[in-house]
Structure 1
Amino acid sequence: MINLQVRSGNGSIEARAKHGVVWGPELAGLDQSAFPMLGHLLPYADTVFNHQQVATLLEEVPRLPAGVLTDQFTRELIELGQTVLDGQHLYLWFLGD
């Protein structure tokens, strides 16, 4: 399971998703050239995106093939990504198991 959080530059958790996403073949099989942000997630490690990377990440979401992310996780990803874009010194963390 991969969970999602927004953290400040000092590491404090500012927001978190209520739903995670299960690591499966759809997510693991994303073409990294077409999905440079989501294609680099790891199932058992944390991945952190800064403000500019989150902007690119949010451009990828509407192009994802069906079934890669659940609707609930997608909504929360967009919401938390926007939180990062609207704030200062915030990072989007994907937390692998």
Structure 2
Amino acid sequence: MIDLAVRGDLRDVVARAKVGVEWTAAFADLDPTNLPMLFALTPYGDAVFNKRQMPTLLAELDRLPTAFGGEWVAQARELCQVVECGQHLYLWFLGD
């Protein structure tokens, strides 16, 4: 399971998703040229996205195949808005 959270510069948690991304091996098969940010997700590592990356991440969420969808996508969108509206905030995908 990959958890999602918005953190500040000091890694303090500002917001957290109620559900995480259920990892499947299919994530490794995502097209890195079409979905490079989501392709970066791994079940064991962290991926961090800053405010300038939010439009790209949101566009990738729009192109994400429905098989990967779920409640986490809506919550990721909400967390992207938190990052976009704040200062010095980052969206973290936290692997195990």
TM-score norm. by structure 2 comes to 0.94
Tell me by how many angstroms 1:22 deviates. Answer: 1.2
Counterpart in 1 of 2:10?
10
Q: Secondary structure at the match of 1:37?
A: helix
The aligned counterpart of 1:22 is: 22
**Structure 1: gaps spanning 5 or more residues:** none
Deviant stretches of 4+, over 6 Å: none
1:35-64 C-alpha deviation (Å, 9 max, x unpaired): 011011111011111111122101111111
Separation of aligned partners in 1, 2:85 and 2:55 = 11
Q: What does 1:59-70 correspond to in 2, within 5 Å?
A: 59-70=59-70
Q: Residue 9 of structure 2 aligns to which amino acid in structure 1?
A: G
Between the aligned residues of both structures, percent identity stands at 50
1-side partners of 2:3 and 2:44: how far apart?
11
- How far has the Cα of 1:94 moved from its partner? 0.2
Give the aligned partner of residue 43 of structure 2.
43
Q: Which residue of 2 aligns with 1:52?
A: 52
Deviation at 1:66, TM superposition (A): 1.0
**What is the aligned-residue RMSD (CA, Å)?**
0.9
Q: How many residues align?
A: 96
Q: Does 1:95 align with 2:94?
A: yes
TM-score calculated relative to the size of structure 1: 0.94
Q: Which amino acid aligns with 1:77?
A: A
Deviation at 1:13, TM superposition (A): 0.2
Uncovered stretches (5+) of structure 2, i.e. residues with no partner:
none
Name the structure with the higher helix share.
2
